[in-house]
Amino acid sequence: MKNADSIKDHLFSLNSRGIKYDLDRIRRAAELCGNPQNAYASFHIAGTNGKGSVCSYIESVVRTAGFRTGLYTSPHIIDFEERFIINGKPVTENDWLSVYNDQRAIIDKLELSFFEAATLMAFELFKRNKVEWAIFETGLGGRLDATNIIRPQVSVITGIAMDHTDYLGSTLMDVAREKLGIVKREIPLVFAKNRDHAINTLAANICSEMQSAITVCSFDDARNVRESADGTIITWNNKQYLIPLYGRHQVKNAVTALNALERAGFTDYETVRRGLQCMFIPGRFHVLEFKRKKLVFDVGHNPDAASVVVDTLKRRFADIPVVFVIGVMKDKDYSGMIAQVLPYAAHIIFTKPDIGRAAEWIDLLNAVPEVDRCRCSVGDTVRNAFITACERKESVICITGSFYTVGEAYSAAGIKPFESQ
């Protein structure tokens, strides 16, 4: 068996093949592997914002109900193994190495992209580990995403906003059509209500054509929403739940997950209550103590997500000044993100995570109006930006802008998020 690091290097090198936006290769690859994705029941989740949290809420409840679960999400924050969660824990290195070595000839023969290869591995990892329910998060869009060859028990679409316009289209309606491409004939859809009525109409029409029952849900379905020291308390369908995260967006995510779980038959109140309360997901307004500072890690990477982060910081920390460490991918609307953060931030340190797709810190700085640049500085690496933030007087540090920025900041702080639960 080859050295794990060299195999990871080979896997990541598949990114050079680009995004292969069709399903032919992954279908053929799965067929050659015996279609392992058909060995278990599943949920399929797409959306611009919130899909990772919805996946984790669902996984936690299903596991609490006594089923063996598999959770496939992307990207990983620190370790590759985080993409493949079985019964609440990342798989071992040996687990995925064994699957990869068995599948490598197929991966190479069909010239799979990195995401296609990882998805194929997830299908088989879950089968070998006797998973009973799998939760699959799309990587990009939905219609032609590699995960879209599964036939789930329930499909879910979380918030839809502008994102990945190079692949998904230049209008919100284009993006919505791609996300709604996960709808399958006679498979129910749980759909988070959009602010654009035309998107909601489109979802209803597609479900009607596919003879798929649609459940539309929103933040307003929750009642008596209030925050506590342990998270957010909500009432849904006349029952009270505690979710261990903060923010209006997490209420909406929890309501979306509750509807999906109900559709799949998970209706026992005590099981659902305990499952939601025990849910953990790194990088979603994850607050930790560090050297007398409060660290807030949030992977939000578009203007909508940035707005939610700022709103949650305001309510959680009131008038306490916050310093931001921000690193963003160059294909994201970083000007829109900065516009959301700038009025609230005491100071912003722009940085660049160690990945080719990242925007240069000078481009981020240039997106700030000249009059506000006195409240900004730069760090050439995420580690240096994090160190600088820790040396400042502000007691709250928010690291945000991308999965990669958050991952490198966790590492700079010596934090393994799955071990910090």
Per-residue pLDDT reduced to its tens digit, 311-335:
999 988 988 999 999 999 998 999 9
Instruction: Give the integer Cα–Cα distance in Å for 215 and 191.
Output: 6
CATH number at residue 366: 3.90.190.20
Residue 81 domain boundaries: 4-221+246-275
Strands of the sheet containing 214-217, edge to edge, are 89-90, 84-86, 69-72, 133-137, 41-46, 154-157, 189-192, 214-217
More confident residue, 228 or 255: 255
Q: Which element (helix H / strand E) includes 364?
A: helix 361-366
State how far the alpha carbon of 178 is from the alpha carbons of 41, 47, 217, in Å: 24, 10, 20
63 with 200, same domain: the answer is yes
Q: Is there a single domain that holds both residue 23 and residue 77?
A: yes
The answer on pLDDT for 390 being more than 70 is yes
pTM for this prediction? 0.88
The answer to whether residues 316 and 412 belong to one domain is yes
The yes-or-no verdict on residue 167 having pLDDT over 70 is no
Q: Taking the CB of residue 202, how many other CB atoms lie within 10 A of it?
A: 17
- Report the pLDDT averaged over residues 29-52: 97
Please report whether residue 182 resides in a domain.
yes
Query: Do 87 and 199 reside in the same domain of the chain?
Result: yes
240 in any annotated domain: no
The yes-or-no verdict on residue 421 having pLDDT over 80 is no
Q: Do 342 and 196 share a structural domain?
A: no
State the Cα–Cα distance between residues 202 and 206, nearest whole angstrom. Answer: 6
**Does residue 234 lie in a domain region?**
no
- Tokens representing 302 are 């578009």
Judgement on whether residues 262 and 293 belong to the same structural domain of the protein: no
> How many domains are there within the chain?
2
- Distance of alpha carbon 67 from alpha carbon 326, whole angstroms: 39
Pair 27, 139 in one domain? yes
Average of pLDDT values for 44-65? 96
CA 341 to chain CA mean position, Å: 21
Q: Are residues 162 and 62 in the same domain?
A: yes
Mean pLDDT to the nearest integer, 8-22: 76
Q: Is residue 338 part of a domain?
A: yes
Residues 408 and 261 in one domain: no
- CATH number of the domain encompassing residue 165: 3.40.1190.10
Closest Cα partner for 179 from 212, 232, 139, 213?
139
pLDDT mean across residues, the chain: 93
* Residue 76: inside a domain: yes
The pLDDT of residue 160 is 86
The reply to whether 281 falls in a domain is no
298 and 264 together in one domain: no
Q: Are residues 153 and 265 in the same domain?
A: yes
- What are the C-alpha distances in Å from 251 to residues 53, 154, 276, 363, 402? 10, 20, 11, 34, 22
The answer to whether residue 231 is domain-embedded is no
Q: Is residue 236 part of a domain?
A: no
**Which residues lie across from 253 on neighbouring strands?**
none
- pLDDT above 50 (res 1): no
Six token digits for residue 314: 């305001």
| 61 and 179, same domain (yes or no) | yes
Predicted pLDDT at 5? 80
**Mean pLDDT for the stretch of residues 396-417:** 96
The percent of residues above 90 in pLDDT, for the chain, comes to 82
For residue 147, which of 43, 57, 51, 39 has the smallest C-alpha distance?
Answer: 43
